[in-house]
Amino acid sequence: MTRSTRQRERTRETDETEDQEGVRACPECESDNLVKDSDRGELICEDCGLVVEEEKIDPGPEWRAFNHQERQEKSRVGAPTTQTMHDKGLTTTIDWKDKDAYGRSISSKKRSQMHRLRKWQERIRTKDAGERNLQFALSEIDRMASALGVPRSVREVASVIYRRALKEDLIRGRSIEGVATSALYAACRKEGIPRSLEEISEVSRVERKEIGRTYRYISQELGLEMRPVDPKKYVPRFCSELELSEEVQTKANEIIEKTAEKGLLSGKSPTGYAAAAIYAASLLCNEKKTQREVADVAQVTEVTIRNRYQEQIEAMGIHG
């Protein structure tokens, strides 16, 4: 018997939930493959079809919504707390709609009063210079993260790193922008979404040299365990920008793996190493790109690509 998609949506019970409810296995066939049918409030064995429990209490909201807009309108809770805002998103804001609770427009006298209230609300959100600086730093992290196109998780990690640096008093004597940029660079590495110092410095208001120096200092002081960046993580992005095929991407990863096993990667820039492997792979797969094109995408020099390329083809036993 077929059921509608909504009715067939079932969520597998976690071990924790099963332990709380006291049901670990089906009493009929002793299978632990139990699923929950939220529509009927039943716990069912997926193997033999036995209804193990019925009339279960639904812990969800009492209202129903069929799309995102309805959910937003009916929800009575705010957004979750976040480290990317100086107050963690816990303060209130006064809406700019200039309407009352019934959706009616308010009078001009009330509008000017609300304008003054909003102005003071913005002012009192930061109680001192320290909070204002934190607000500025976190907005800088958000701006740079948007420009780099990194996910929300990286912004959260960068904000946590900056807050830790602030707590340990590592910002004294350094620019707020420099520490914020270094925190973002560290977060990118920690989350496995590598961005080179050149890419970071392009969206920052700080020079590359200062970013590198500040990054080394805060990572050492905060004990951030950073593994060397794997050049293979740059390959998909560089290949996409160069409009190269999957075949070239696979070949480039193969070159990196084989040459890294022979110790060629030690002490080399991961971006330059990845760029050289992509250049070599493009030649081997007859999708030739010039050294200049690859160098521009990877933000390295043509000399770096030539040197790494020669080392890689020699290690692979290919005669160019």
Q: Which residues are annotated as a binding site?
A: 26, 29, 45, 48
Annotated binding-site residue numbers for Zn(2+): 26, 29, 45, 48
The C-alpha atoms of residue 254 and residue 268 are separated, in whole angstroms, by 18
User: What distances in angstroms separate CA 211 from CA 30, 185, 200, 266, 319, one per listed residue?
Assistant: 60, 9, 9, 23, 40
**Residue found by looking up tokens 């000017």 in the block:** 112
CB 37 within 8 A of CB 10: yes
Give the pair of three-digit tokens for residue 212. 């590198």
